[in-house]
Chain A
């Protein structure tokens, strides 16, 4: 589904990603953990080309998206992205946030887009907030709308960049629950998160990143209980 080969990213002199290679299978839920500044966000942003890789290749369903010939907008439309700070469009209602993509990009009719938007709002439990503006929603509600917005494009995979780390503790669960449902439905997901409970329970595989490389990877039971690498052990001892 997503194949990454020897991915590098440099910000001028700063070498952030130093050769990432991994393969994410359809329906797989992959959690990425690692210390701050290790390049987790940069890696995620490379997957939908919000950052342009400096070297290496990324294939999505066999299509080499790092090729300059591909339409970058088509690539992004197939990858849903959820941000740490939600980034909802504040001048639009929850419903409009969810219909703008399908209407503008997929050229759906307004009615059809709204019908689908309501289905998605039901899914994240916010149908009654359809006509609220983001400013009138709690952080947890905003993030759930943001997830619905990403899903509105029917993406092949969803990318989450620390979706709960800007939330008050009591709102984390409602967002994680939505993500768990999504995982159960078989959505391919790449999640950068410090929610170890979520990683343990939901993910098929955990990647531990440090200093721009994948230091260790494996199923959560193995990575959390029997970490092989010294750096993984020391990181886990701090966060668990």
Chain B
């Protein structure tokens, strides 16, 4: 119910944006040559628009040639479904006259047209996030356990790892891997010239390692949230530390860890957009490319926002439900 309201609010904002964006401009090119009879050529991109002269519908669609208009000033309007209508005053003189319209899609149609591209980007975002968080869970499980086991060296190593990657911006980590690592790799494995990494590899590594640090904290907190008496009871039966971990502590910790892991996934879904800066073609990068082609940032970025929302809302709902069930005792 609450999500529905959020979605509605987003839609209302979207509609306001679309109206605000309805101020399309078309360039005007009127050419005329001397002659006796007037000829008015009306073209539009795309073709097939209906034509209104002084408000009256004219038979036929663009491209259209109208002959024999008496010279003078006319209002020319072209109308095509799913495009914004354009109107302009044209001074018709004897001889050749030409007017060209460049029609802009309506916001909704534009969004519809870029949707496949955005979804393609979203699939990439989702894929990148899933494999990174999956990897992060594997890394984080080991790192999180390493923080609690009674082995001092492991505590220190995992502590450094977790604090470093939680304490520095993800963007910096992406740069460190994508731009910082190639020279190192070059001097280690090559002839000294940097070995460039492809954006996917850099993105995947950076997100996995970053996610691993956050997951490690979740695992640590999950394990430490189990009452001390559980470990004592297990040990007093004669279980080793590892037996107690495996049979008593971890099975209980797993349940508590699932909702925060869901939140980590949602956070990573959003933060993965940062890898667009190294040219990884996920949702945000796709949108940047689209905008440079269409010059329509308003609808494009709104669309990106909505696509993210479509991805995060279901997961948020699942996490909320899990948390609720956990609170009421599984």
Contact = CB atoms under 8 A, between A and B. Distances in A.
Interface stretch (A97-105, A171-179, A204-212, A217-225): A97-105
Interface string A44-69: 00001010000000000000000000
Contacts of A105: 237-239, 243
A89 B238 contact: no
A208 to B, nearest CB: 25
A73 B229 CA distance: 17
A48 B232 CA distance: 11
B230, B237, B240, B329: most-surrounded residue (chain A CB, <10 A): B237
A100 B236 contact: no
A78 B236 CA distance: 9
B235 interface: yes
A149 interface: yes
Interface stretch (A6-14, A29-37, A80-88, A118-126): A80-88
A76 B229 contact: no
B155 to A, nearest CB: 19
Contacts, number: 59
B59 interface: no
B252 interface: yes
A87 B227 CA distance: 9
B243 A104 contact: yes
Contact of A91 (B229, B233, B239, B252): B252
B236 A50 contact: yes
A98 B60 CA distance: 89
A104 B247 contact: yes
B252 A76 contact: no
A76 B243 contact: no
A79 interface: yes
A93 to B, nearest CB: 13
B274 interface: no
A48 B329 contact: no
Contact of A77 (B237, B255, B329): B237
Interface residues of B, number: 19
B17 to A, nearest CB: 50
Interface string A113-144: 00000000000000000000001000000000
Given A85-B229, A90-B252, A91-B252, A76 B235 contact: yes
Contacts of B233: 81, 83, 87-89, 146, 149
A74 B247 CA distance: 18
Interface in B306-330: 329
Contact of A76 (B227, B237, B248, B251): B237
A150 B255 CA distance: 26
B248 A89 contact: yes
Nearest to B241: A73
Given A91-B252, A100-B247, A149 B229 contact: no
A153 interface: yes
A87 B232 contact: yes
A49 to B, nearest CB: 9
Contacts of B248: 89
A50 B251 contact: no
Contacts of B239: 73, 101, 104-105
Contacts of A146: 233
A73 B232 contact: no
A70 B314 CA distance: 55
Interface of B: 227, 229-230, 232-240, 243, 247-248, 251-252, 255, 329
5 contacts: A79-B236, A81-B236, A87-B230, A100-B247, A150-B237
Given A91-B255, A101-B238, A104-B247, 18 more contacts: A50-B232, A50-B235, A73-B238, A73-B240, A74-B238, A76-B236, A77-B238, A78-B238, A83-B233, A88-B233, A89-B233, A89-B248, A89-B252, A90-B252, A101-B237, A101-B239, A135-B329, A150-B237
Interface of A: 48, 50, 73-74, 76-81, 83, 85, 87-91, 100-101, 104-105, 135, 146, 149-150, 153
